[in-house]
Amino acid sequence: NPAEDNNTCAGRAVCAAHGTALSRGNGANMKTVVITGGSRGIGAAAVRLFAGRGARGWVLYEKNHEAARAVARETGAQALCCDVADEAAVQRAFDTIGSADILVNNAGVCHYGLISQITPAEWRRLFAVNVDGIYNCVRAVLPQMLQKQSGAIVNVSSMWGQVGASCEAAYSATKGAVLALTKALAQELGPSGIRVNAVAPGVIRTDMCASVAPEVMEELRQQTPTGTLGTPEDAAQAIAYLADAPFVTGQVLAVNGGFVIT
Ligand code: NAP
Protein backbone atom coordinates (compact mmCIF):
# COMPACT_ATOMS: atom_id res chain seq x y z
CA ASN A 1 0.00 0.00 0.00
CA PRO A 2 1.18 3.52 -0.59
CA ALA A 3 2.44 4.74 2.77
CA GLU A 4 0.14 7.57 3.68
CA ASP A 5 1.63 10.35 5.72
CA ASN A 6 -0.88 12.15 7.84
CA ASN A 7 0.20 15.67 7.23
CA THR A 8 -2.83 17.65 8.22
CA CYS A 9 -1.56 21.16 8.72
CA ALA A 10 -2.85 23.28 11.53
CA GLY A 11 -1.92 26.45 9.68
CA ARG A 12 -3.70 25.89 6.36
CA ALA A 13 -4.86 29.50 6.13
CA VAL A 14 -1.33 30.84 6.22
CA CYS A 15 1.20 30.48 3.44
CA ALA A 16 4.33 29.30 5.19
CA ALA A 17 6.49 30.46 2.26
CA HIS A 18 5.31 34.07 2.44
CA GLY A 19 3.79 34.35 5.90
CA THR A 20 0.68 36.04 4.55
CA ALA A 21 -2.92 35.10 5.11
CA LEU A 22 -4.53 33.61 2.03
CA SER A 23 -8.11 33.88 0.97
CA ARG A 24 -9.07 30.26 0.62
CA GLY A 25 -12.32 29.04 -0.84
CA ASN A 26 -14.67 27.06 1.34
CA GLY A 27 -14.24 23.31 1.22
CA ALA A 28 -16.81 22.92 -1.55
CA ASN A 29 -15.05 25.02 -4.20
CA MET A 30 -11.46 24.16 -3.28
CA LYS A 31 -9.69 22.47 -6.19
CA THR A 32 -7.88 19.21 -5.60
CA VAL A 33 -4.50 18.97 -7.31
CA VAL A 34 -2.29 15.89 -7.52
CA ILE A 35 1.39 16.59 -8.21
CA THR A 36 3.69 13.66 -8.90
CA GLY A 37 7.28 14.27 -7.84
CA GLY A 38 6.03 16.96 -5.48
CA SER A 39 8.65 16.33 -2.82
CA ARG A 40 11.46 18.28 -4.47
CA GLY A 41 12.41 20.70 -7.25
CA ILE A 42 9.80 21.83 -9.76
CA GLY A 43 7.08 19.66 -8.22
CA ALA A 44 7.60 21.09 -4.73
CA ALA A 45 7.48 24.64 -6.13
CA ALA A 46 4.19 23.76 -7.83
CA VAL A 47 2.78 22.33 -4.58
CA ARG A 48 3.63 25.62 -2.83
CA LEU A 49 2.14 27.72 -5.60
CA PHE A 50 -1.14 25.77 -5.74
CA ALA A 51 -1.37 25.79 -1.94
CA GLY A 52 -0.94 29.57 -2.01
CA ARG A 53 -3.96 29.70 -4.32
CA GLY A 54 -6.05 27.69 -1.91
CA ALA A 55 -5.92 24.26 -3.57
CA ARG A 56 -6.07 20.97 -1.69
CA GLY A 57 -2.80 19.26 -2.60
CA TRP A 58 -1.64 15.67 -2.89
CA VAL A 59 2.07 15.00 -3.27
CA LEU A 60 3.16 11.72 -4.82
CA TYR A 61 6.82 10.84 -4.40
CA GLU A 62 9.05 7.79 -4.62
CA LYS A 63 11.47 7.55 -1.72
CA ASN A 64 12.43 10.87 -0.16
CA HIS A 65 10.09 10.71 2.84
CA GLU A 66 11.69 13.61 4.70
CA ALA A 67 11.43 16.03 1.79
CA ALA A 68 7.83 14.99 1.10
CA ARG A 69 6.84 15.42 4.74
CA ALA A 70 8.48 18.85 4.85
CA VAL A 71 6.58 20.07 1.76
CA ALA A 72 3.35 18.62 3.14
CA ARG A 73 3.84 20.25 6.54
CA GLU A 74 4.62 23.58 4.93
CA THR A 75 1.67 23.60 2.53
CA GLY A 76 -1.01 21.50 4.20
CA ALA A 77 -0.84 18.98 1.33
CA GLN A 78 -1.06 15.22 1.85
CA ALA A 79 1.95 13.12 0.88
CA LEU A 80 1.70 9.61 -0.58
CA CYS A 81 4.72 7.43 -1.26
CA CYS A 82 4.04 5.89 -4.67
CA ASP A 83 6.30 4.85 -7.53
CA VAL A 84 4.45 6.19 -10.59
CA ALA A 85 5.91 3.35 -12.66
CA ASP A 86 3.98 0.84 -10.53
CA GLU A 87 0.48 0.65 -12.00
CA ALA A 88 -1.09 -1.03 -8.97
CA ALA A 89 0.50 1.42 -6.51
CA VAL A 90 -0.76 4.36 -8.59
CA GLN A 91 -4.28 2.92 -8.61
CA ARG A 92 -4.18 2.52 -4.82
CA ALA A 93 -2.94 6.09 -4.41
CA PHE A 94 -5.80 7.47 -6.51
CA ASP A 95 -8.28 5.28 -4.62
CA THR A 96 -7.07 7.11 -1.51
CA ILE A 97 -7.17 10.54 -3.15
CA GLY A 98 -10.62 10.12 -4.69
CA SER A 99 -11.54 12.81 -7.18
CA ALA A 100 -8.96 15.29 -8.52
CA ASP A 101 -9.50 18.46 -10.56
CA ILE A 102 -5.88 18.88 -11.68
CA LEU A 103 -3.19 16.28 -12.33
CA VAL A 104 0.40 17.45 -12.74
CA ASN A 105 2.57 14.66 -14.15
CA ASN A 106 5.94 16.00 -13.03
CA ALA A 107 7.81 12.97 -11.61
CA GLY A 108 10.80 12.22 -13.76
CA VAL A 109 14.29 10.80 -13.87
CA CYS A 110 17.20 11.50 -16.21
CA HIS A 111 20.23 9.65 -17.47
CA TYR A 112 23.42 11.05 -18.92
CA GLY A 113 25.63 8.94 -21.18
CA LEU A 114 26.26 7.67 -24.68
CA ILE A 115 23.54 5.55 -26.29
CA SER A 116 26.05 2.66 -26.32
CA GLN A 117 26.49 2.97 -22.55
CA ILE A 118 22.90 3.03 -21.34
CA THR A 119 21.86 -0.47 -20.31
CA PRO A 120 18.54 -1.99 -21.38
CA ALA A 121 17.41 -1.86 -17.73
CA GLU A 122 18.28 1.85 -17.46
CA TRP A 123 16.50 2.57 -20.76
CA ARG A 124 13.38 0.73 -19.62
CA ARG A 125 13.38 2.43 -16.21
CA LEU A 126 13.49 5.88 -17.83
CA PHE A 127 10.46 5.03 -19.97
CA ALA A 128 8.73 3.33 -17.02
CA VAL A 129 8.91 6.48 -14.88
CA ASN A 130 8.76 9.29 -17.45
CA VAL A 131 6.18 7.81 -19.85
CA ASP A 132 4.41 4.82 -18.25
CA GLY A 133 4.14 6.91 -15.07
CA ILE A 134 1.97 9.42 -16.93
CA TYR A 135 -0.10 6.64 -18.52
CA ASN A 136 -0.68 5.11 -15.08
CA CYS A 137 -1.71 8.39 -13.46
CA VAL A 138 -3.94 9.47 -16.35
CA ARG A 139 -5.73 6.12 -16.36
CA ALA A 140 -6.25 6.31 -12.62
CA VAL A 141 -7.58 9.89 -12.58
CA LEU A 142 -9.69 9.67 -15.72
CA PRO A 143 -12.86 7.91 -14.51
CA GLN A 144 -13.56 10.72 -12.03
CA MET A 145 -12.73 13.46 -14.53
CA LEU A 146 -14.94 11.85 -17.16
CA GLN A 147 -17.77 11.58 -14.66
CA LYS A 148 -17.46 15.33 -13.90
CA GLN A 149 -16.75 16.17 -17.58
CA SER A 150 -14.01 18.46 -16.37
CA GLY A 151 -10.34 18.37 -15.46
CA ALA A 152 -6.89 19.64 -16.33
CA ILE A 153 -3.75 17.61 -16.88
CA VAL A 154 -0.30 19.22 -17.13
CA ASN A 155 2.62 17.05 -18.19
CA VAL A 156 6.21 18.07 -17.54
CA SER A 157 8.36 17.41 -20.60
CA SER A 158 11.69 19.11 -21.38
CA MET A 159 13.25 21.23 -24.10
CA TRP A 160 15.29 18.10 -24.90
CA GLY A 161 12.01 16.43 -25.83
CA GLN A 162 11.57 19.16 -28.42
CA VAL A 163 15.03 19.21 -29.99
CA GLY A 164 17.00 16.26 -28.51
CA ALA A 165 20.22 16.35 -26.53
CA SER A 166 23.47 14.57 -27.24
CA CYS A 167 24.27 12.03 -24.49
CA GLU A 168 20.67 12.19 -23.31
CA ALA A 169 19.05 10.09 -26.03
CA ALA A 170 16.86 8.03 -23.69
CA TYR A 171 15.76 11.06 -21.68
CA SER A 172 15.05 13.04 -24.87
CA ALA A 173 13.05 10.11 -26.27
CA THR A 174 10.89 9.90 -23.14
CA LYS A 175 10.26 13.64 -23.11
CA GLY A 176 9.41 13.61 -26.85
CA ALA A 177 6.91 10.86 -26.08
CA VAL A 178 5.39 13.07 -23.37
CA LEU A 179 4.79 15.81 -25.94
CA ALA A 180 3.12 13.45 -28.43
CA LEU A 181 1.03 11.92 -25.66
CA THR A 182 -0.05 15.39 -24.53
CA LYS A 183 -1.22 16.40 -28.01
CA ALA A 184 -3.04 13.12 -28.61
CA LEU A 185 -4.81 13.21 -25.25
CA ALA A 186 -5.83 16.84 -25.75
CA GLN A 187 -7.70 15.80 -28.88
CA GLU A 188 -9.17 12.68 -27.32
CA LEU A 189 -10.29 14.24 -24.05
CA GLY A 190 -11.20 17.78 -25.13
CA PRO A 191 -14.78 16.81 -25.99
CA SER A 192 -15.10 15.44 -22.44
CA GLY A 193 -14.12 18.78 -20.89
CA ILE A 194 -10.61 17.68 -19.98
CA ARG A 195 -7.64 19.80 -21.09
CA VAL A 196 -4.14 18.39 -21.50
CA ASN A 197 -1.05 20.58 -21.87
CA ALA A 198 2.70 20.32 -21.34
CA VAL A 199 5.49 22.51 -20.08
CA ALA A 200 8.94 22.10 -21.60
CA PRO A 201 11.45 23.49 -19.11
CA GLY A 202 15.00 24.39 -20.02
CA VAL A 203 17.79 24.21 -17.47
CA ILE A 204 16.21 24.60 -14.04
CA ARG A 205 18.32 24.61 -10.89
CA THR A 206 17.16 21.48 -8.99
CA ASP A 207 18.66 18.27 -7.65
CA MET A 208 18.34 16.86 -11.17
CA CYS A 209 21.17 19.17 -12.26
CA ALA A 210 23.27 18.58 -9.13
CA SER A 211 25.71 16.31 -10.94
CA VAL A 212 26.27 18.78 -13.78
CA ALA A 213 29.65 20.49 -13.35
CA PRO A 214 29.46 24.17 -12.34
CA GLU A 215 31.40 25.24 -15.44
CA VAL A 216 28.89 23.43 -17.66
CA MET A 217 26.02 25.16 -15.84
CA GLU A 218 27.81 28.47 -16.42
CA GLU A 219 28.19 27.68 -20.14
CA LEU A 220 24.49 26.86 -20.35
CA ARG A 221 23.65 30.14 -18.62
CA GLN A 222 25.79 32.08 -21.09
CA GLN A 223 24.09 30.34 -24.03
CA THR A 224 20.66 31.34 -22.72
CA PRO A 225 19.30 34.57 -24.26
CA THR A 226 17.98 35.81 -20.90
CA GLY A 227 21.43 35.21 -19.37
CA THR A 228 19.87 33.26 -16.54
CA LEU A 229 19.07 29.68 -15.62
CA GLY A 230 15.56 28.81 -14.53
CA THR A 231 14.21 28.36 -11.03
CA PRO A 232 11.66 25.75 -9.94
CA GLU A 233 9.24 28.65 -9.44
CA ASP A 234 9.59 29.66 -13.11
CA ALA A 235 8.41 26.21 -14.18
CA ALA A 236 5.71 26.09 -11.48
CA GLN A 237 4.18 29.35 -12.74
CA ALA A 238 3.81 27.87 -16.22
CA ILE A 239 2.25 24.71 -14.79
CA ALA A 240 -0.25 26.74 -12.77
CA TYR A 241 -1.14 28.86 -15.82
CA LEU A 242 -1.90 25.80 -17.94
CA ALA A 243 -3.92 24.23 -15.13
CA ASP A 244 -6.17 27.26 -15.12
CA ALA A 245 -6.47 28.34 -18.77
CA PRO A 246 -9.92 27.28 -19.99
CA PHE A 247 -9.31 27.79 -23.74
CA VAL A 248 -5.82 26.28 -23.89
CA THR A 249 -5.28 22.62 -24.67
CA GLY A 250 -2.74 20.50 -26.55
CA GLN A 251 -0.07 23.17 -26.14
CA VAL A 252 3.57 23.09 -25.12
CA LEU A 253 4.73 26.02 -23.01
CA ALA A 254 8.51 26.43 -23.13
CA VAL A 255 10.15 27.77 -19.97
CA ASN A 256 13.75 28.02 -21.05
CA GLY A 257 14.91 31.65 -21.22
CA GLY A 258 14.91 31.40 -25.02
CA PHE A 259 17.50 28.59 -25.12
CA VAL A 260 15.28 26.70 -27.55
CA ILE A 261 12.78 28.61 -29.67
CA THR A 262 10.63 26.32 -31.84
P1 NAP B 1 14.18 16.48 -9.05
O2 NAP B 1 14.54 17.67 -8.28
O3 NAP B 1 15.19 15.40 -9.29
O4 NAP B 1 12.86 15.83 -8.39
C5 NAP B 1 12.32 14.68 -8.97
C6 NAP B 1 11.00 14.40 -8.31
O7 NAP B 1 10.39 13.26 -8.96
C8 NAP B 1 11.15 14.02 -6.84
O9 NAP B 1 10.02 14.51 -6.15
C10 NAP B 1 11.14 12.50 -6.88
O11 NAP B 1 10.68 11.90 -5.68
C12 NAP B 1 10.12 12.26 -7.98
N13 NAP B 1 10.22 10.94 -8.58
C14 NAP B 1 11.26 10.41 -9.27
N15 NAP B 1 10.97 9.16 -9.67
C16 NAP B 1 9.73 8.89 -9.21
C17 NAP B 1 8.88 7.76 -9.27
N18 NAP B 1 9.25 6.64 -9.90
N19 NAP B 1 7.65 7.84 -8.69
C20 NAP B 1 7.27 8.96 -8.04
N21 NAP B 1 8.02 10.06 -7.94
C22 NAP B 1 9.24 10.02 -8.53
O23 NAP B 1 13.68 16.86 -10.53
P24 NAP B 1 13.17 18.25 -11.15
O25 NAP B 1 14.33 18.91 -11.77
O26 NAP B 1 12.29 18.96 -10.21
O27 NAP B 1 12.30 17.65 -12.36
C28 NAP B 1 10.90 17.56 -12.34
C29 NAP B 1 10.46 17.27 -13.76
O30 NAP B 1 10.93 18.32 -14.62
C31 NAP B 1 11.01 15.97 -14.34
O32 NAP B 1 10.03 15.35 -15.12
C33 NAP B 1 12.17 16.43 -15.20
O34 NAP B 1 12.45 15.53 -16.23
C35 NAP B 1 11.62 17.75 -15.70
N36 NAP B 1 12.64 18.69 -16.16
C37 NAP B 1 13.62 19.15 -15.31
C38 NAP B 1 14.56 20.04 -15.81
C39 NAP B 1 15.67 20.59 -14.95
O40 NAP B 1 16.59 21.24 -15.50
N41 NAP B 1 15.67 20.42 -13.64
C42 NAP B 1 14.50 20.46 -17.15
C43 NAP B 1 13.49 19.97 -17.96
C44 NAP B 1 12.56 19.10 -17.46
P45 NAP B 1 11.71 11.58 -4.44
O46 NAP B 1 11.95 12.91 -3.76
O47 NAP B 1 10.96 10.62 -3.57
O48 NAP B 1 12.95 11.01 -5.04
pLDDT tens figures, 145-204: 999 999 999 999 999 999 999 999 999 999 999 999 999 999 999 999 999 999 999 999
Mean pLDDT of 84-100: 98
| Rounded distance from Cα 33 to ligand 1 centre (Å) | 17
Is 59 touching ligand 1 by the criterion CB < 6 Å?
no
How many residues are given for the chain? Answer: 262
Ligand 1 pocket residue status of 63, Cβ below 6 Å: yes
pLDDT tens digits for range 14-72: 333 332 223 344 455 799 999 999 999 999 999 999 999 999 999 999 999 999 999 99
What does pTM read for this prediction? Answer: 0.92
Regarding beta strands 102-105 and 151-156, do their DSSP bridges make them parallel or antiparallel, or are they unpaired? parallel
What is the pLDDT, as a whole number, of residue 191?
A: 98
Give the rounded distance of the alpha carbon of 219 from its chain centre: 26
**Three-state DSSP state, 242:** helix
Closest ligand 1 atom to residue 160 Cα is: 43
Which atom of ligand 1 has the smallest separation from the CA of 207? 2
pLDDT at 27: 57
CA 156 to ligand 1 centroid distance, Å = 9
Long-range contacts of 8-12 (CB under 8 A, 24+ apart): 8/76, 8/78, 9/72, 9/73, 9/74, 9/75, 9/76, 11/76, 12/76
Quick check: 221 pLDDT over 60?
Answer: yes
Q: Which atom of ligand 1 is nearest to the CA of 232?
A: 26
